[in-house]
Structure 1
């Protein structure tokens, strides 16, 4: 008797998996891909925002008009003020995404992109430039929150990893697009080109559905079924998926309150999401990109503009590889391999700076003036810097670039997705700003070699954290992931 009762949950789970598999076999993904394409124009716009400053700043520093010309300090703020706007955008997105929905939030965030680039195009002084950057940063913060949620809630478990990885793929594609366009266009025309993706997103999103999860959370079941018919094709009946989502929502309870922070289904994913976003910035990605131009110069690549395009191209290629592997290899494996590759590469960077020091005599000594590499190391060391940078960018693109955003969109219950994602985005952008602004101070205190060895230690901690704390979400529905955190078996 007891044995039979104990076997029932397992049998029910197996039957549920078979039914789910049969349902997914009937799904047609064509319109899901179309909706994903419309949404990822947001991250493409985000990439153009991030990439815009690199080709635009040299132009703005050479303008004869003193009202527009940027000095080094003003150029630094022009590049970094985006992170402040993005942090604010994360807070704003979290406040509205659960009120007006994922679709409308995504459509509205196209407006500050367009207005921001329009202000830059028509700028007559520094403050118009800063305002344009803040607005495009604000839109980027909202985008980095809402697009992963929109794609995650639209997709099913067989393709959700690939679809979610397209977010980071389009970000790095936008960065590369800005770099390439910057080879041929001045800063005003580059802003015109950068405003095209958000305008196209605004138009296409008018024809895309709201996510079924949000519609069901608002009691709009008929609309949720219509959305599922659009996303899953005519052969897959939406009633079963609607019922499964509704059941999970009933288990989660009503609106979110402070007492819910005691719920492992809330605090566990929140802790994992925040720590992943923090670790992503502590890998040293900004430091590597900071040194990229100088490293290419030391390796005798005279055209640094072309060098930045090469770096961006490597990111695009390996982020695309990650997207193809995400639903096959799984999140944990890619994160682990990524962390190992970055730990090795940043350790080698530390060795490079140690050996490059003119005072090197068997022990590492401080680099006197942090900033773009001001040393003239022996030519036979150039290969070490190039190899380290290539390994790092490859590793980051395969795992710790795209995966934290994907996992963030998967692990929160529906009622906590807005708040949880908002806190994750705020952590990411705040950390990016702090790491970037304190980088010089860190090199003063630890030397360049010591700083990169510190990054190597952080990457090693990434690996430990991934193995012991990050759940594998490959092949699981959002409801199964939520049940995992609550310690409940979900069919």
Structure 2
């Protein structure tokens, strides 16, 4: 009886704890992803022990995204056959290997290998974590918990921005390797996804896990609903072909490809990877590029957390629309600054680069940053979810690779305003896609969302079927 009362005091604490610990994988990812921001200026400098050129720097910035192409399908396979929890463990290992390689690197090829290995971890993490979080969460807080993926990635980036400029590359790698080790120690204490247990016929264990996550003994009704969904969806084919021949799956796939395209074409990967170099290209208000990067990272973390708080109250579509419009305005300001950078009166606008970037990060973080990582776990049925998230991550990696690889050569050849003008235009166009094609999933069960994608409204509410 005492145990029951204690769990009822904080019935959801295990959901929050499991999400926070599992998303430390995204903390490690955020540190690795932003590693190039403080590291490239050091590697470009004349006194670097591993001196590189601009082309080599662009490969260091982008090659991790090619590693995603391996990590995503491997992570999906492990999640389906060994479990979501085991897949989280797998995703952490490449991060630790990557930091070890960076710590011992004496040549450019070793750094390149480290970045590629890290990409394998990213591919696995972004495939697995939305699935695990979506399957352990209550409907009314699923969006909030799903947004922890972006919050923790931003937290990792901020820590790297804060440490990286002031220590050597090797020291930074040694410090950062603590995070994967921490996950190895703590995460084994948390349960498997109840959906995965039901898929493999372990009903009794699924009940015990659900009791732990919900903080109460009476979970039979919810478990029956879960099992009903699993039985119905498991009876359907789970082959890769189902993603393209089943109308609701194809619709979800196209919606999410659109959101991932919007996300990357807003320029976020460029901003995170080249933060210090972008600020070096724009003199502004006396702040050093390193301090500017820390400010940007701090703002991104605060507003990613803000999104996690409000997403289950405001809804997905309003946040996405406001985010896209706000990003377009801020990127437009940055575009104008770079276009008029050599104008004699530009000194009156030295505040614009840092202001525009902070505004962009605010607008991006509460909508475009968090929701495209959270919504995949909502839009696909259980039987096909791992494969769908795998394809989504591969597509995201390819889109980010193209944007990052082309950014610096384009900026050097035509001017920094050209890529930023493209990012601005992309954000404006995205508003129309969100309005007409993205369904509202706030407060809906996973089964109700499938009905919406099939073109059916939900009785008793104002949710319209998806228009695409």
TM-score normalised by L of structure 1: 0.85
Deviations 1:168-227 (A, max 9, x none): 011011011011122432111211121111111122221111101111111111121111
How has the CA–CA distance of structure 1 residues 115 and 377 changed in structure 2, closer, same or farther, with 3 Å as cutoff? farther
Aligned 1:31-46 pairs, distance under 5 A: 31-46=14-29
Aligned 1:413-428 pairs, distance under 5 A: 413-428=381-396
Deviations 1:298-339 (A, max 9, x none): 113342211111111111111111111111111111101001
What is the distance in 2 between the residues matched to 1:380 and 1:203? 53
Q: Which of 11, 32, 36 is the equivalent residue of 1:28?
A: 11
What is the distance in 2 between the residues matched to 1:186 and 1:82? 21
Q: In the alignment, is the contact (CA less than 8 A) between 2:279 and 2:289 conserved in 1? A: no
Aligned 1:359-370 pairs, distance under 5 A: none
Helix, strand or coil for the counterpart of 2:351? helix
Q: Which of 292, 305, 308 is the equivalent residue of 1:323?
A: 308
Q: In the alignment, is the contact (CA less than 8 A) between 1:274 and 1:423 conserved in 2? A: no
Q: Which segment is superposed worse, 89-98 or 70-79?
A: 70-79
- The runs of 5 or more residues in structure 1 that have no matched partner are 1-24, 359-375
Q: Which of 196, 199, 212 is the equivalent residue of 1:217?
A: 199
Root mean square deviation, CA, Å: 2.5
- The runs of 5 or more residues in structure 2 that have no matched partner are 1-7, 460-468
Q: Which segment is superposed worse, 218-227 or 244-253?
A: 244-253
Q: Does 1:198 align with 2:180?
A: yes
Deviations 1:337-392 (A, max 9, x none): 0011012222233333333355xxxxxxxxxxxxxxxxx76201223333322221
Aligned 1:220-369 pairs, distance under 5 A: 220-235=202-217, 237-252=218-233, 253-257=235-239, 258=241, 261-289=244-272, 290=274, 293-295=277-279, 297-356=282-341
Provide the residue aligned with 2:33 in structure 1: 50
How has the CA–CA distance of structure 1 residues 130 and 462 changed in structure 2, closer, same or farther, with 3 Å as cutoff? same
How has the CA–CA distance of structure 1 residues 59 and 354 changed in structure 2, closer, same or farther, with 3 Å as cutoff? closer
Provide the residue aligned with 2:97 in structure 1: 115
How has the CA–CA distance of structure 1 residues 473 and 312 changed in structure 2, closer, same or farther, with 3 Å as cutoff? same
Instruction: Tell me the CA shift for residue 153 of structure 1.
Output: 0.7
- Corresponding pairs, count: 448
What is the distance in 2 between the residues matched to 1:78 and 1:139? 16
Q: Which of 435, 438, 441 is the equivalent residue of 1:467?
A: 435
How has the CA–CA distance of structure 1 residues 112 and 353 changed in structure 2, closer, same or farther, with 3 Å as cutoff? closer
Q: Which of 161, 168, 185 is the equivalent residue of 1:179?
A: 161
Q: In the alignment, is the contact (CA less than 8 A) between 2:340 and 2:346 conserved in 1? A: no
Instruction: Tell me the CA shift for residue 443 of structure 1.
Output: 4.9
How has the CA–CA distance of structure 1 residues 353 and 270 changed in structure 2, closer, same or farther, with 3 Å as cutoff? same
Q: Which of 379, 383, 386 is the equivalent residue of 2:347?
A: 379
Deviations 1:80-116 (A, max 9, x none): 2222212332232223321211100101222221122
Q: Which segment is superposed worse, 315-324 or 295-304?
A: 295-304
Provide the residue aligned with 2:51 in structure 1: 69
Instruction: Tell me the CA shift for residue 233 of structure 1.
Output: 0.9
What is the distance in 2 between the residues matched to 1:180 and 1:27? 34
Aligned 1:91-130 pairs, distance under 5 A: 91-130=73-112
Higher gyration radius (CA): 1
What is the distance in 1 between the residues matched to 2:116 and 2:242? 35
Q: In the alignment, is the contact (CA less than 8 A) between 2:133 and 2:146 conserved in 1? A: yes
How has the CA–CA distance of structure 1 residues 65 and 49 changed in structure 2, closer, same or farther, with 3 Å as cutoff? closer
How has the CA–CA distance of structure 1 residues 26 and 420 changed in structure 2, closer, same or farther, with 3 Å as cutoff? farther
What is the distance in 2 between the residues matched to 1:261 and 1:173? 36
Provide the residue aligned with 2:5 in structure 1: none
